[in-house]
Amino acid sequence: MEPSDALDELMDLSSQVEAAVVLDEGGNVLASTLPDERAPGLARAGSRLLEAAGRVRTGAESGQVSQIGAATPTGSVFLVREGNRTILATTGAAPTAGLVLYDLRTCLRSLGEEISPET
């Protein structure tokens, strides 16, 4: 499935996700539900979040961070990384975190192995 099709399906199925971006391992936007001018900013924020989370993990627990969830009173951000792809999504306040993470992981898995950046 193409990244843009996977995001369309995610938005149809997950009522809690307000916006989402799929990234390659270099942090490049493969697809987004946001306007073109906003997607790179969310992608950069997601990459910085992954880097910061990776620095926190040390010792025997060190390794690639696979998921992150952060909540504020007005909304949440979730990030899931699997293989060479990452999906970052925003939600409103008080989402069902486990369900959002499941939906994001399912979206990534629907992409299969072959994906390339949108041009």
Please give the pLDDT value at position 90. 96
pLDDT (tens, 9 = 90+) of the chain, 119 residues, equals 999 999 999 999 999 999 999 999 888 999 999 999 999 999 999 888 888 888 886 655 566 789 999 999 999 999 999 989 999 999 999 999 999 999 999 999 999 854 444 43
DSSP for residue 81: E
Q: Which domains does the chain have, with CATH numbers?
A: 3-109 (3.30.450.30)
Structure tokens at 75: 């909304």
Structure tokens at 87: 């999906």
Please give the pLDDT value at position 60. 54
pTM above 0.75, yes or no: yes
- Surface-to-core class of residue 7, CB atoms within 10 Å of its CB (0-12 exposed, 13-18 middle, 19+ buried): buried
